Amino acid sequence: MFSELSAFGKPGEVERGKYKRIGNHFLQATDEGKFEFSILKETSKFIVLAETYDYPDVFVTILDKQKGTLYERYLSATEGNKKSMPIIGTCIFFD
């Protein structure tokens, strides 16, 4: 997975991460650490993943199997009207 970070004031920088399926969830490894995602929905075309916490926030990832793209967004009920920027990148699927 590669995500371009110019929307975050980091033009030319990319974030690299890996998602690995383990049973009925995915583990994501990035430079910031390892995270566990539940599979909310999977079809032949896409996978919707979510990481939840002990507070009312969620990190959602959509993996588009056909286009090889991903879309990530953090949603927070604890931060009121503060908007988060989506991360859009590319991904490669391995069996």
For residue range 18-72, list pLDDT tens digits in order: 788 998 899 887 777 888 999 999 999 999 999 999 999 999 999 888 888 888 8
Residue 73 within any structural domain of the chain: yes
Based on the structure, what is the number of domains in the chain? 1
Q: What is the pTM of this model?
A: 0.76
Residue 85 within any structural domain of the chain: yes
For residue 67, give its domain range.
2-90
Long-range contacts of 18-23 (CB under 8 A, 24+ apart): 19/49, 19/61, 19/63, 19/91
Residue 95 within any structural domain of the chain: no
